[in-house]
Amino acid sequence: MNCQKVREQLDAALDGRAVVSGQTDVARNAAVVAHADSCPDCRVLYDEYLLIESALTVWAPRRPSVDLTDRVIDAARREGLVSSTVSAVRVNAAGVKVDGAVPRADRLTSGNEPVVRAATEETPAAGRSVWPTVVTVALVLAAIAIVFREKPGSIAHHEKTPQPSVRDSPPGLLDTPQDQVADIGHLVADAQSAWRGITSRVSRQASGFSVFVPNLSNELGIADVIGSADDNSGSASPGDDDQRQETVQPSAVDKAFEFLFDKAEPAGTLTI
Amino acid sequence: MTEDVQLVQQCLSGDELSMRAFLSKYQGLVFSICLRMLGHREDAEDVAQDALVRVFRNLEKWDQQRPIKPWLLTITANRCRTALEKRSKLPSQNDLAVDLASERREHSRHEQDQLDIGEELELALGELREDYRTCFVMYHQEELSYQEIGEVLGCPQGTIKTWLHRARAQLAKRLQERGVVADPSALEAT
C-alpha cells in the first residue's frame, strides 16, 4: 500500500463514520497500520485520524435549552402564523404541566417549572378591585339615608298636611289610572314634606347658635326655610327663588346638600 | 421527504401541534449550526429562534421536490452571518469554555473522563475559522452531504471537501498541541 492509498483510505474512513466503526475499521486495518509504521508522513496522518475519530465518538451534540420551542411558537403566534392552539395545559420536556406561555426568566431559573399562568391572563386581583369601592360607597349612602331619614314625631311630621294615605284605601281602589296618578301625587307630597322637615330641623338647630354667629342662617342659606316651613305652602314661587339666589351666596352646607341629594336645589327652593 | 411535505403543509395551515413537531425535529439542527457559527449559547438561541420563525414565515417558498435540511440551514446560516456582522466580533472560545465547564459539572467522574477529549474538540473547534467549523459540524454532527453543505454555504462541493479536510487537520494539530491522545478503547467500543 502506498502513501496515496493510505491517505485516501483515511479520508474515506473519516467521511463515512459507519465504515470506520463497523465494517472496514481502518484503525485495525493491518495494511494501513503497517504502512504508517514505516512512513513518518503517513504516521502523522494516521495519528490525526485516530485522534479525530476518537474525539468524534464522544462528541456530544449541543442542544438548545428546553424553552426554545415555546419561544418560537410564541413569536410565531405574535406574527399570526399559528391559527390553532393546543390545550391550554401542555406538558414541557421535563414532563411538567405548563399553563400557557411561561416567562423566560422563570424558565431559565428552573428545569421543573411550576404551573404558571399565561402572561395575557387577567389577574384575579384586577377583577376584584372594584368591589371594595362599591361596597364602601353603598355603606356610606346607607348611613346618610339613616341619618336623614324622617322620624315619627318630628317637626316635619307635625307640619305635614294630613293626607289620606293610599295604604288606608281598601284593596281594589287603585286599579284605575286615576288612582295611580293620585298615588304618585301623594308620594311626591310625602317627599316634599320630608325635605321641608330636614331643612327646618337643621335651621332650628342652627338658630341656636345665632347668638354667637350672627346671620348664621343666612350663611347656611336656610333663613328662608324657617318661614316657608311654617306656612305649609309646599314650594316657593320661582320669582322668590331667583331673588334669594341673588342675595344668598351658596355655602358649604349648600354644596354638601347638593352633593348628597343629587344636585337638589338649595333649601327652600325645592320644586317638583 | 414525504413526511416532511405533510408536516410542512400542516404547519402552513397554522396547526400548532404540527409546528411543535417540526421544531422538535429540526430545532436541534438549527441551534447546533447557530452555536458553531456564533460560538455563544445565548446568541445562538436568539438567532435560532429568529431563523425558525423566518422558516415558518417562508415555508410556502420551500421547493417540496428538494430536501428541507439545506433550505433550513441556508436561512439559518444567513441569519448567523447577519448576527455576526451586527456583533462585529469573532466568536470567542471563552464562551464555549464556560458552557463546557457548566456542562462538565453535571456529569459523573467516569463520564468526565470520557468527555475530556470531546471538550478538547470543542475548544479546538472554537479556534477554527468559521466556515471550517460550520462545515465540520454540518458534516460530522448533522450528517449533511457535501452537496447539501455546498447549497447551504453557497460553495461548490470541491471547496467543501477542502474545507472539511483542513478542518480535520487543524483540529488534530490543535489536539496534539494540547497533549490529547487518541483513546483506542473508545474506537474499539464503537
| Per-residue pLDDT, B7 | 92
More reliable by pLDDT, A1 or B122: B122
pLDDT of residue B12: 92
pLDDT at res. A86? 56
- The beta-carbon neighbor of A75 closest among B53, B168, B183 is B53
Burial of A189 (0-12, 13-18, 19+ CB in 10 A): middle
- DSSP secondary structure, B36-50, as one string: HHH--HHHHHHHHHH
| Residue B182 to chain A, least CA–CA distance (Å) | 4
pLDDT of residue A175: 54
What is the pLDDT averaged over residues A175-203? 74
ipTM: 0.77
Chain B partners within 8 Å of A85 (Cβ): 16
Q: Is residue A272 a contact partner of residue A192, using CB atoms and an 8 Å limit?
A: yes
The reported pLDDT for the residue numbered B166 is 92
Reply yes or no on whether the pLDDT at A241 is more than 50: no
A-facing residues of B in 73-102 (CB < 8 A) are 99
**pLDDT category, A101, cuts 50, 70, 90?**
very low
Write out pLDDT tens, residues A5-60. 888 888 777 776 434 444 456 556 778 888 888 888 888 888 888 888 888 888 87
Closest CA to B183 of B136, B118, B125: B118
The predicted-structure confidence for A116-153, as pLDDT tens digits, reads as follows 333 333 334 444 456 778 888 888 888 888 877 655 55
Contacts of B99 in chain A (CB under 8 A): 62
pLDDT of residue A54: 83
Give the pLDDT mean for A63-84: 87
- Judge: A48–B169 Cβ closer than 8 Å, yes or no: yes
- What average pLDDT does the structure give for chain A? 62
Q: Which residues of A touch B51 (CB under 8 A)?
A: none
| Interface touch B182/A81, C-beta < 8 Å | no
pLDDT band, very low/low/confident/very high, at A76 (cuts 50, 70, 90) = very high
Give me the pLDDT at residue B184, please. 57
In angstroms, rounded to a whole number, what is the distance separating the alpha carbons of residues A183 and A177? Answer: 10
Chain A neighbors of B13, CB-CB under 8 A: 83
> Would you list the DSSP string of B66-133?
S-HHHHHHHHHHHHHHHHHHHHTSPPPHHHHHHHHHHHHHTS-HHHHHHHHHHHHHHHHHHTS-HHHH
Spatial distance between the Cα atoms of B88 and B136, rounded to a whole number of angstroms:
23
Q: Chain B, 1-20: which have a CB under 8 Å from a chain A CB?
A: 13-17, 19-20
- How much is the pLDDT for A14? 76
Q: Band of the pLDDT at A110, cuts 50, 70, 90?
A: very low
- The mean pLDDT of A198-226, rounded to a whole number, is 56
pLDDT at A138: 87
Q: Return the residue of B nearest to A22 by Cα.
A: B190
In the numeric block, the cell 413537531 is attached to B21
Please state, in angstroms and as integers, the Cα–Cα distance from residue A150 to each residue in A158, A190, A192, A204, following that order: 12, 10, 12, 16
How is residue B61 annotated by DSSP? G
Nearest neighbour of A69 by CB, restricted to B27, B121, B175: B27
Nearest residue of B to residue A67, measured between CA atoms: B45
- Tell whether B44 lies on the interface with A, counting CB pairs under 8 A: yes
Strand partners, A99: A89
pLDDT (tens digit, 0 to 9) for every residue of chain B, 190 residues total? 578 999 999 999 999 999 999 999 999 989 988 988 888 888 899 999 999 999 999 999 999 998 898 999 999 999 998 998 887 655 555 555 555 555 555 554 455 555 578 888 888 888 888 889 989 988 988 888 898 999 888 899 999 999 999 999 999 988 888 887 776 555 554 4
Note whether A209 and A238 are within 8 A (CB).
Answer: no
**CA–CA min distance B4, chain A (Å):** 18
3-state DSSP: chain B helix, strand, coil percent, rounded to 5?
80, 0, 20
Note the pLDDT of residue B26: 92
Residue B74: CB atoms within 10 A of its CB come to 16
Residue A127 has a pLDDT of: 42
Yes or no, beta carbons of A48 and B168 under 8 Å apart: yes
SS3 letters across chain A? CCHHHHHHHHHHHHHCHHHHHHHCCHHHCHHHHHHHHHCHHHHHHHHHHHHHHHHHHCCCCCCCCCCHHHHHHHHHHHCCCCCCCCCCEEECCCCCEEECCCCHHHHHHCCCCCCCCCCCCCCHHHHHCHHHHHHHHHHHHHHHHHHCCCCCCCHHHHHCCCCCCHHHCCCCHHHCHHHHHHHHHHHHHHHHHHHHHHHHHHHHHHHCCCCCCCCHHHHHCCHHHHHHHHCCCCCCCHHHHHHHHHHCCCCHHHHHHHHHCCCCCCCCCCCC
